[in-house]
Amino acid sequence: MKILHYLIIAFLLLLATGCKREQKTTDKTAPTVENSVTYANGLEIYKYNGFSIVKVTNPWPDAEESYTYVMQQKGEIVPDSLKKYTVLEVPLQSVVVTSTTHIPSLEMLGVENTLVGFAHTDYVSSEKTRKRIDEGFVKDVGVNESINTEIMIDLAPEAIIGFSISSNNKSMNTLEKSGLKVLYNGDWTEQNPLGKAEWIKFFGALYGMDDKADELFKQIEKDYLEAKEIAKQATDRPTVLGGAIYQDHWYLPQGDSWAALFLKDANADYLWKDSKGTGSLSLSLETVLDKAQDAEYWIGPSHFTSLQEMTDSNPHYGQFRAFKEQKVYSFSSKKGSTGGVIYYELSANRPDLVLKDLIKILHPGLLIDHKLEFFEQLK
């Protein structure tokens, strides 16, 4: 079940909610202040004296709904025109999150002690949050598809941060009907690496820590762009293969996807870079072998953690040059104490580290002092 879970995460990056829904229409009363979000396509934040307006405009792919949340500073007044939306007093004192990608934002902002519940705690890798789980401060609230309503009502968090693959999420709808406040987080829909990372500003708004979130993101942005410039110094662009076989189909990233954009910024020649789309291609083994048999590197071979494990699953993997030369790199072998893959938890928040890993792998002469954070060469 863990492998299936990780495959789903790698494709979607987790869960669901429901809040006050709005059809996407032209907003004639749009705020006159500037949106403080630069890279993220599905997030807008407008700061006013005493409150902020947070808009999640793309909670899932091709969503027709958008969601507006109002973050009210303690003792301040929110205009009557905004009270139809979900209003929260910030900073939050208690929260439940439902994706491991939310954990790093809480920790980077230093508000992890407000976390009181998480969906399936075994997936959490962070040592800091695992300690709080083990000490009983963070309750397991069930699995994403079926949150335990009784536990949630007992915890009574000030907010539940969830996500959904569609507008129909019974679990989150039930929690809303019970009086709990549910907020969508759409970080997983972003394809630009910096766009995903910028969702730390969503959490910054929840805690009245907009300035700190901006500062943290600016440092990540700076480090990412500097690494991208370093990659341009490479004298060659090695060819790269990705993905692996699952149920007789080879799944690998499409050319406009998050993973493919990382390879582009690392100055690599991803062999499916010209394919259109942000999801995964489903190909036959023969098609992949024909195009990528001589690829120099193989990045992200699904859940595999050793070369032997790969050929045990399918001996045809051994026909690829990258396999023969042991230039296969996976993020699946680095896990937390209960089996959660660190990459799935932290990579969205730290694209700078992902990019540096790829540059280190693909251009060994650059970033000599960098130690691989997520990836590991399979033996």
**158 and 203 co-located in one domain:** yes
Residue where the block lists tokens 């039930």? 174
Report the pLDDT averaged over residues 31-54. 92
Q: What is the CATH number of the domain that holds 121?
A: 3.40.50.1980
- 48 domain residue, yes or no: yes
CA distances from 247 to 4, 174, 284 (A): 11, 34, 11
**129 and 241 co-located in one domain:** no
The three-class DSSP label of residue 248 is coil
Considering 222, 253, 274, which residue would you say is the last residue of a domain? 222
Task: Name the average pLDDT for the chain.
Answer: 91
**189 and 280 co-located in one domain:** no
Confidence (pLDDT) at 32: 61
Confidence (pLDDT) at 167: 72
**154 and 186 co-located in one domain:** yes
**204 and 311 co-located in one domain:** no
Confidence (pLDDT) at 10: 44
Prediction pTM value:
0.90
- Per-residue pLDDT band for 20 (boundaries 50, 70, 90) equals very low
**197 and 295 co-located in one domain:** no
pLDDT exceeds 70 at position 338: yes
**122 and 268 co-located in one domain:** no
The three-class DSSP label of residue 5 is helix
How far apart, in whole angstroms, are the C-alpha atoms of residue 75 and residue 23? 31
How far apart, in whole angstroms, are the C-alpha atoms of residue 39 and residue 294? 35
**250 and 198 co-located in one domain:** no
Q: Bridge partners of 86?
A: 69
Tens-place pLDDT, residues 142-158: 987 788 999 999 999 99
**189 and 282 co-located in one domain:** no
**93 and 153 co-located in one domain:** yes
Q: Bridge partners of 249?
A: 246
pLDDT exceeds 70 at position 305: yes
**195 and 241 co-located in one domain:** no
Considering 196, 222, 248, which residue would you say is the last residue of a domain? 222
**338 and 199 co-located in one domain:** no
**364-367 own/partner pairs: CB under 8 Å, 24+ apart:** 365/234, 366/230, 366/231, 366/233, 366/234, 367/227, 367/230
Report the pLDDT averaged over residues 167-181. 85
- 65 domain residue, yes or no: yes
Confidence (pLDDT) at 163: 84
Considering 222, 253, 284, which residue would you say is the last residue of a domain? 222
Give me the percent of the chain exceeding a pLDDT of 90: 83
What's the angle, vertex CA 186, arms to CA 51 and CA 140, rounded to 5? 95
- 109 domain residue, yes or no: yes
Report the pLDDT averaged over residues 93-116. 97
Q: Which are the contacts of 233, defined by CB distance < 8 A and separation ≥ 6?
A: 366
- Per-residue pLDDT band for 171 (boundaries 50, 70, 90) equals confident
- 227 domain residue, yes or no: no
What's the total number of domains in the chain? 2
Q: Which domain holds residue 109?
A: 2-23+31-222
How far apart, in whole angstroms, are the C-alpha atoms of residue 282 and residue 7? 14
- Per-residue pLDDT band for 22 (boundaries 50, 70, 90) equals low
- 254 domain residue, yes or no: yes
